[in-house]
Structure formats: C-alpha cells, structure tokens
Homo-oligomer: A and B are copies of this chain.
Amino acid sequence: MTHTELSPARRISDNGISVDCVIFGFDGERLNVLLLRRTGEIGGISFDDMKLPGSPIYQDEDLDEAAHRVLKELTGLSNVYLSQFKAFGSKTRTENPRDVIWLEKESGIKVDRRMVTVAYIALLKIGRSISRELNGSRAIWVPLGTEGSLAFDHNQILTESISQIRRMVALSPDCIFDLLPRKFTISQLRKLYETILQEKIDAGNFYKKLSVMPYVVPLDEKETGTPHRAARLYRFDRVIYRKNHSE
C-alpha cells in the first residue's frame, strides 16, 4: 500500500473497474431510464449516441460510494434507492474503438485492457426538482424500449436490470414505492405494477388487496383535475412495512 505519489485526496483508480447506474423513473405511464448523451469523433467521423451514467471508481471509495457519487453528481439526490445487481466483465466489452476512444478522452485513463463494471439499479420519482437539476446536463429520461443502441454493453445491462427489477418487486414489493410520488392513487400503483410485470391486473381485486395492507395508508385527500371521479390518495409507510416483514 504505497501512497507516495497520490496527488490530491482523490484520484481515479486505474484498476479497470467502473460502476454504471441504471436509473429508473416512472412517469405515470411508462418506465423511463436516465441516459447520458455521448458525442465524439473517430477517424474524422463524429458519433452521437447514449450511455448509462457511470464512472471509474476512485481508490479511496468503495463500490457503493462510487455508485452514490455518480447518482449524486447527475441528479443532486442522495436519499435514493440504490442497489448493486451484477458485475459485467465480458472479454469484449471494452473493445469497440468508439468506446475506447471516448473512455480514454473522458477519464484520462489509458484503456489497454478489458474494463469490468459493476452495475447498480436506482429507483426514483420523476419530479420537478429532478427535472430542474437535469436541465442543462446531457441527461435525458428515455422511455423503456425506445433507447436504441447504447454504448459498451449497456443494452445488455439495461435488459438484465429490468429482469432484476421484476425479481426485486417479487421479493420485496416495498421498492416499488420508490418509483411513485409520496402521495399516489391505487391506479397509479397498479399501472406501475402492470408496466413492470407486463401483464394486466384486475382493478377491483388490486384495490381490495391494497386496502388490506396496513402499510398503504389512505389519506384524506383526493386527486384533482381528473376527467372522472377523483381517486383517494395514499402514502407508503415504511415503518409499518418493516414491522410486518421483519419476522
């Protein structure tokens, strides 16, 4: 552990490891991913595509810290659901010249070997504050399915992260509430389930199932501005949830 020529407090590690964040947001209709526009030039021909937000890890931070940093720098948010889900280390994942050139220019690292990346999933609410933060950055919310061809193996990472979300929801449904605003209607929750599970859910049965859950707390407020009967608003109570799921 020689720290002799460590410049400032932080320096980028050159150990070929990065983190990438698959940041999901729900707009009421569809799941969206937060992607970064990437531009560059290779052989006189410029390119313009998208990638998952990510970064090489610093030597003085662990993996989770690196992922939180990426998220914080991009969105300004700290208290966000974020969990590691898989490491990607295909032999060819950093071989595309376009990717290599972009990476070297962006990070200042010489990319002379395969990089391994640890992918994270973040779930957050698409709201005004986050949109304001994103203004002027190169980040865009992209609806799932319309993302096109991404940099590196990011299409694969994205695909696998969606299966991962399905597993997560099946295993501990509480994470779904991270995608909803604090106050939400049963319909919004149902539509979110439907988009994640990719199947229709009977509205009546869903309503009853939810009304039995003690941690989905009805409020004395109603929706406004609907073209039909206003729905009651609910909130998710994490404390009650944990009490029921710790045993």
A-side interface residues toward B, CB under 8 Å? 1-2, 13, 15-17, 57, 59-63, 84, 86-91, 95, 100, 111-114, 116, 118, 167, 170-171
Q: How far is the CA of A114 from the CA of B58 in the complex (A)?
A: 10
8 Å CB contact of A17 from B2, B16, B61: B16
Contact B112 A2 (CB under 8 A): yes
Q: How far is the CA of A17 from the CA of B63 in the complex (A)?
A: 13
CB distance from A29 to the nearest CB of B (A): 27
Q: What residues of B have a CB within 8 angstroms of the CB of A61 in the complex?
A: 91
CB distance from A56 to the nearest CB of B (A): 11
Q: What residues of B have a CB within 8 angstroms of the CB of A63 in the complex?
A: 87-89, 116
With A17-B17, A167-B171, A170-B171: A57-B113 Cβ-Cβ less than 8 Å: no
CB distance from A107 to the nearest CB of B (A): 14
CB distance from A62 to the nearest CB of B (A): 5
Contact B116 A91 (CB under 8 A): no
Please give 6 more A-B residue pairs, beta carbons under 8 A apart, in addition to A15-B16, A63-B87: A2-B112, A17-B89, A84-B86, A84-B87, A87-B87, A167-B171
Q: What residues of B have a CB within 8 angstroms of the CB of A16 in the complex?
A: 13, 15-17
Nearest first, the 7 closest Cβ-Cβ pairs linking A and B are A15-B16, A63-B89, A87-B87, A87-B118, A62-B91, A62-B89, A62-B90
